[in-house]
Chains A and B, each alone.
Chain A
Amino acid sequence: MILTVNHVSRYRYDLPVRSVVQSHRLTPSRHEGQRSLDWQVRVSDGLSGGAYRDGAGDWVQAYSVPGPVSEISVEVVGRVEVTDMSGVLRGHRETIAPEAYLRATNATRADVALADLAASAGQGTDPLNRAHSLSAAVADAIAYRPGATHAHTTAAEALELGEGVCQDHAHALIAVARVAGMAARYVSGYLFSDAAGDPHEAAHAWAEVYVTGLGWVGFDPANRCCPDDRYIRLGSGFDARDAAPIRGIARGAGNESLDVTVAIGAAQQ
């Protein structure tokens, strides 16, 4: 399948800022399940900075915008050919040892409830089944409800609330996988349509769990599935902040507001 992406982020500052520096992980990963046909990122008035492939295999591209500036748009337009690999990340070159992802961050630290959730799911089964059980347990424990949580909600808080969005599901799955002794990480990307076939109108996130013998395998508790040919993978990290497709810092006193639109379509083959 060929997916088209049109993703626009518009940053506005109520007072002009002196300069903005951004770090992008906005380029589709290179692996057997996906191939970029064309891909463009445009930053209004942006000077492109250094670019490199990092230890996780993600393509990082820096931008800076000299000020004074009161609005910046980041526009991503592209087409990606995607193949269903049942969630297995195959042919993805990276340096970082999976063990490095066994560390907790604030967002993914397990509390007693998360440890209990981990213990309740798939104990005694092989690692792949265990990961499937953990993903299902997270989906059962946290109902999908937009607006219930915010950008800084932790896995423990989302579980206590019993509600959340894809970010919370991914954080919770990372936490329980680690309790089960499996390395896990946060993945950011795009989703063409959700399980019900409705178009997905925001950037998406899921988790990858390291399964010995198989490598990194994606799990999307929010949609109770593994990533297939409706998913485009951009980059990974310990948690949502670490894997953010766009990180930025503005120098100046202006308050920032952000407006994002995402449109993912299926192109005719």
Chain B
Amino acid sequence: MTDAFFNEMFQSGRVRPPYAQLEGWTERMPASLRSLKQAEAEALFRRIGITFAVYGEGGDPDRLIPFDMFPRVFAHDEWRKLERGIKQRARALNAFLVDVYGRGEIVRAGRIPSRLVYLNEAYEKAAAGFVPPRGVYSHVVGIDLVRTGPDEFFVLEDNCRTPSGVSYMLENREIMMRMFPDLFRGNRIEPVDRYPQALRRTLASVAPQKCDRDPTIVILTPGHFNSAYYEHSFLADLMGVELVEGQDLFVEGEFVWMRTTRGPKRVDVIYRRLDDAFIDPLCFRPDSLLGVPGLMDVYRSGGVSIASAPGAGVADDKAIYCYVPEMIRFYLGEEPILKNVPTWQCANPDDLGHVLDNIADLVVKEVHGSGGYGMLVGPKSTKAQIAAFADKLRANPGNYIAQPTLALSTCPSFVDEGIAPRHVDLRPYCLVGERVELVPGGLTRVALTEGSLVVNSSQGGGVKDTWVLAE
């Protein structure tokens, strides 16, 4: 099995250069110390309270996601290429959003089918005809990547709304530095701890038209019952901004105000961590108690900025995903640096035929699904499971896409038997404001079950610290 997958540390019995400093690290670590460290890591995570499920996967919000102490490492050059590809994609996605809420040139040019855009559930009519400050809709773009070879990376999906998990990137590093200070002395690893300030700067750079001062930024959370609440309060803390719920804000006159002990304070930029449907009951779901009535009118008239901007979700669904390379060519006039996974759209009869003929070798996903639920991994399924799934697929083909099973790279990981290769993916967080910025690192998820290709924490996945080596 090891030969079928790209092992990021070992190739033909040799250690790849980025991992050179880690060679022998685990051998030098006695088993007793290892279990001690593992217990220490768990205690640290518990103490800081980072127990949420990533990516809205649901499940027990108090469950701890397993932390794997073996770091995942990128060489400086590998990262520079990834960085260019990620920034390119983030630019194109934002250009697409400005376009489809404006003249829709890409649709007029016949490069993307109009129904995929205008009949998309995430297309918000209320956002049309408005260009947000600096032409940015998605201020934090989370791009999920997998690796299949030394130079082969594929984008699995884009997250343009409110991608979560960045607190893991920060905490994983913090905990590794605390537990293994020697590793950080011996390796020149790019820091990630400037992310909160970079996010703050990004948000300040998109202050609304009517803001003529140092902007007041807040994080709007649905509340403590939300699975990512820890991350919301963690980021607010590190950025030095208020964490608010809908009831803490109100609209009066041309602005949004925050209730404070010293009276109302005007708010200029809202980093919201709740979905469009809930942000303003006057405009969207009238039964929402989480939002701020009248917010959209203030936003549209330049009194407040909202990050991500309402309507940003139309750029990141799985059907639109197929057209991101086209967006890059159309808006930037460049060739995509990062590849898409070849994708069959089951809505298309030819594609559906191909998918049904080859279903045992494919991964079939729901267009709007997430968290590794509602999907079929052909090679890992029984005949009965495949037959049942094929029936669902025939009943509602438009709801599914299919992709080949990718040979995800592996990285050494701590398992019960010692160290063994386990499959990994990567989510970096690209910031888009006045500048497009990428903190060198991201969240590496690891499928801790032997042979598993599903890294979602709801399916037995864990997380790792992600290193980018300095030049």
Contacts and interface: CB of A to CB of B under 8 A. Distances in A.
B104 interface: yes
A102 B282 CA distance: 23
B252 A62 contact: no
A47 B252 CA distance: 7
A55 B128 CA distance: 5
A60 B103 contact: no
Contact of B297 (A23, A96, A102): A23
Contact of A96 (B128, B254, B282, B293): B128
B283 interface: yes
Contacts of B104: 97
A125 interface: no
A248 interface: yes
A50 B128 contact: no
B302 interface: yes
B250 A19 contact: yes
A23 B118 contact: no
Nearest to B304: A50
A7 B324 CA distance: 49
A72 interface: no
Contacts of B283: 23, 247
Given A21-B251, A50-B297, A249 B282 contact: yes
A100 B314 CA distance: 13
Given A21-B282, A60-B297, A247-B282, A66 B123 contact: no
B298 A100 contact: no
A22 B103 CA distance: 29
B253 A99 contact: no
Interface string A58-69: 001010101000
How extensive is the interface on chain A, given as a class?
Answer: 20 to 34
A52 B119 CA distance: 25
Contacts of A49: 251-254, 294, 297-298, 301, 303
Contacts of B282: 21, 23, 247-249
A21 B281 CA distance: 11
Contacts of B281: 249
Interface in B239-273: 250-254
Nearest to A238: B125
Interface in A77-100: 94-97, 99-100
B107 interface: yes
Interface in B314-357: none
A191 B252 CA distance: 33
Nearest to B121: A103
A48 interface: yes
Nearest to B100: A97
Contacts of A97: 104, 107, 114, 117-118
B149 interface: no
B129 A95 contact: yes
Interface residues of B, number: 35
Nearest to A96: B128
Interface string B77-114: 00000000000000000000000011110010000001
A56 B297 CA distance: 14
Given A21-B282, A47-B253, A52 B301 contact: yes
Contacts of B253: 47-49, 64
A249 B294 contact: yes
Contacts of B300: 50, 52, 54, 60
Contact of A51 (B119, B127, B301): B301
A165 to B, nearest CB: 22
B297 A99 contact: no
Contacts of A102: 115, 118-119
Interface string A222-262: 00000000000000001001000001110100000000000
A150 interface: no
B184 interface: no
B373 interface: no
Interface string A135-165: 0000000000000000000000000000000
Nearest to B298: A50
Nearest to A58: B129
Interface in B289-311: 293-294, 296-298, 300-303
B112 to A, nearest CB: 12
B130 interface: yes
A42 interface: no
Q: Among the interface residues B102, B123, B254, B293, which one has the most CB atoms of the partner chain A within 10 A?
A: B293
B255 to A, nearest CB: 8
Nearest to A98: B118
B415 interface: no
A30 to B, nearest CB: 14
B294 A95 contact: no
Interface in B337-393: none
Contacts of B117: 97
Interface of A: 19, 21-23, 47-56, 60, 62, 64, 66, 94-97, 99-100, 102-103, 238, 241, 247-249, 251
27 contacts: A21-B251, A21-B282, A47-B252, A49-B294, A52-B301, A52-B302, A54-B128, A55-B101, A55-B127, A55-B128, A62-B251, A62-B294, A64-B294, A94-B129, A95-B101, A95-B129, A96-B125, A96-B128, A96-B129, A97-B118, A99-B114, A99-B115, A100-B119, A102-B115, A247-B282, A247-B283, A249-B294
A-B residue pairs, 5 tightest by C-beta:
A50-B301, A55-B128, A55-B129, A62-B297, A21-B294
Given A49-B251, A247-B283, 12 more contacts: A19-B252, A23-B283, A49-B303, A50-B303, A51-B301, A52-B297, A55-B130, A94-B129, A95-B128, A95-B129, A96-B128, A100-B123
